[in-house]
């Protein structure tokens, strides 16, 4: 449990029933029935130059898999999805389709102005596939061994594609479970029924992939050793450290990173034992902030306030996510930045003081006007940064970085030979699960090509 929240009452102290909690954390978007999936698939126009494919970060042939669903070929549809995105099941649940493939659907311009429900159709295919064996065969053993650091979406996708090419892969994971954000960082109502674990088990069925847990780069694992022991190294490190507000009292009881609480919530077997802030403030504007605020409301908080320093239009959380928060009673305050952590005599958080902001010549500026919001706990969701300890050995220190991101070329090669990187730890586009999967897949292809080139040169 997050130490800074131990003084708070537990969810069960509010009198909320376990049944209500269970209902509050059921699947956010119930799956389509078979009949609904067939009807929805027939709305697709199967465009020749489908804009939905262009909008998909993982290049899934969307019209093809939808046509296959319409023809009753569920395994074929699932294969079409998984050959481009081996984590297609989780991406169907968490991918912001409303700003990607569905936003590009030509049905938006039709009289009904309603896109084909691509995400739910993708979920239908991957949920109902029944293969006698893993749908992708592993090539003959190449004799090569690649290290993958991090069992999140990027690392898992990279490992699976490398296994398809016949390379042996060892994944080194710091946590006790694989899955990365899918396991630890997604709102509980977005991925239910232990789906993240089941998806990883399916992925590993290809063979040739070993998972080692409790292996933390910068602690009991060094890049130098991995580099020496393997033919290649892929870094799918993610961004494991929450950014700081930079205010006095940031370590006081009652102030905690949203990601830590979400992790506890995701792993909790009994939601009634979680600490609950009856009055809660969440600072941030992304999907993590929305997830934190919405889940606190669903746990029974009386007041949940999300505060952002700029306007609604600048929030990185999609409009769809914002509507979820509002529907759960979350109050949103914009144009306000944290100024001071308010503490009581016991040095515990009792609220936050904010300064109203405005935009001047394209830059954010304070107005001098302040206001306070009372709170039993404040959760910061102002972004994640790179854990510098991860790259603390001498070899890792040679990696070129831009700020807190590792620099890579167009083939995901870092500045070190035979070391590649992808996912949130590199500076490339949005921090999306589907993008991390694509990074891992493309990096695996680059690793494979580089290994072949060395073999031919030898």
> Residue 124: what pLDDT?
98
253 and 362 share a domain?
A: yes
* pLDDT, average across residues 35-43: 96
234 and 249 share a domain?
A: no
- For residue 10, the Cα-to-chain-centroid distance in whole angstroms is 27
What are the DSSP E strand ranges found in 32-158?
145-149
**Tell me: the pLDDT tens digits for 93-146?**
999 999 999 999 999 987 778 999 999 999 999 999 999 999 999 999 999 999
Residues paired with 284 in a beta bridge? 381
Question: Where is the domain boundary, 365, 383, 401?
Answer: 383
221 and 103 share a domain?
A: no
Distance, CA of 432 to CA of 87 (rounded, Å): 13
- Give the DSSP letter of residue 13: G
- Which CATH number characterizes residue 317's domain? 3.50.50.60
Q: Is residue 444 assigned to a domain?
A: yes
Neighbouring residues of 16: CB distance < 8 A, sequence distance ≥ 6: 272, 299, 300
User: Exposure pattern of 179-195 as b/e (b: 16+ CB <10 Å)?
Assistant: bbbbbbbbbbbbbeeeb
**For residues 68 and 77, is the Cβ–Cβ distance under 8 A?**
yes
289 and 345 share a domain?
A: yes
Range of the domain at 173: 145-239+386-457
What is the number of domains present in the chain? 3
Distance, CA of 208 to CA of 449 (rounded, Å): 19
Residue 381 tokens read as 């969701």
378 and 396 share a domain?
A: no
pLDDT at 1 over 60: no
Q: How many CA atoms lie within 13 A of 86 on its CB side?
A: 34
> Residue 394: what pLDDT?
87
- Which CATH number characterizes residue 70's domain? 1.10.1060.10
> Residue 428: what pLDDT?
66
370 and 266 share a domain?
A: yes
Q: Is residue 55 assigned to a domain?
A: yes
Q: Is residue 2 assigned to a domain?
A: no
Q: Is residue 361 assigned to a domain?
A: yes
pLDDT at 202 over 90: yes
332 and 437 share a domain?
A: no
Q: Is residue 27 assigned to a domain?
A: no
pLDDT at 333 over 60: yes
> Residue 70: what pLDDT?
96
């Amino acid at each position: 449990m997050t130490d800074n929240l131990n003084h708070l009452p537990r969810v069960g102290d509010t009198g909320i029933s376990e049944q209500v909690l269970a209902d509050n954390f059921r699947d956010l978007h119930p799956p389509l029935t078979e009949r609904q999936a067939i009807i929805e698939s027939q709305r697709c126009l199967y465009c020749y130059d489908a804009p939905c494919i262009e909008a998909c970060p993982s290049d899934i042939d969307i019209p093809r898999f939808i046509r296959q669903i319409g023809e009753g070929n569920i395994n074929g549809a699932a294969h079409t999805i998984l050959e481009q995105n081996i984590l297609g099941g989780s991406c169907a649940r968490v991918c912001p389709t409303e700003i990607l493939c569905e936003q590009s659907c030509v049905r938006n311009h039709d009289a009904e102005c309603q896109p084909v429900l691509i995400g739910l159709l993708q979920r239908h295919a991957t949920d109902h596939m029944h293969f006698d064996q893993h749908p992708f065969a592993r090539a003959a053993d190449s004799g090569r061994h690649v290290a993958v650091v991090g069992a999140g979406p990027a690392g898992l996708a990279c490992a699976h594609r490398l296994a398809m090419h016949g390379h042996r892969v060892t994944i080194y994971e710091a946590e006790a479970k694989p899955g990365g954000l899918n396991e630890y960082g997604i709102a509980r109502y977005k991925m239910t029924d232990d789906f993240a674990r089941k998806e990883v088990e399916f992925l590993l069925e290809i063979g040739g992939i070993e998972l080692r847990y409790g292996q933390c780069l910068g602690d009991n694992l060094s890049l130098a050793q991995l580099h020496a022991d393997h033919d290649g190294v892929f870094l799918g490190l993610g961004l494991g450290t929450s950014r700081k507000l930079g205010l006095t009292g940031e370590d006081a009881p009652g102030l905690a990173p949203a990601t830590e609480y979400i992790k506890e919530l995701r792993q909790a077997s009994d939601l009634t034992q979680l600490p609950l802030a009856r009055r809660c403030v969440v600072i941030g504007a992304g999907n993590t902030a929305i997830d934190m605020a919405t889940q606190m409301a669903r746990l029974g908080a009386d007041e949940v306030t999300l505060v952002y320093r700029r306007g609604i239009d600048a929030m990185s959380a999609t409009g769809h996510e914002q509507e979820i928060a509002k529907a759960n009673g979350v109050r949103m305050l914009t144009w306000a930045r944290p100024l001071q952590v308010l503490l009581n005599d016991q040095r515990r958080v009792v609220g936050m003081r904010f300064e109203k902001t405005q935009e001047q010549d394209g830059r954010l500026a304070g107005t001098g006007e302040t206001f306070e919001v009372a709170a039993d706990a404040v959760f910061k969701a102002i972004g994640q940064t790179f854990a510098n300890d991860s790259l603390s050995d001498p070899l890792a220190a040679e990696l070129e970085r831009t700020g807190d991101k590792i620099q890579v070329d167009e083939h995901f090669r870092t500045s070190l030979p035979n070391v590649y990187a992808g996912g949130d730890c590199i500076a490339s586009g949005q921090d999306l699960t589907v993008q991390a999967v694509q990074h891992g897949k493309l990096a695996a292809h680059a690793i494979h090509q580089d290994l072949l080139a060395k073999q031919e040169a030898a």
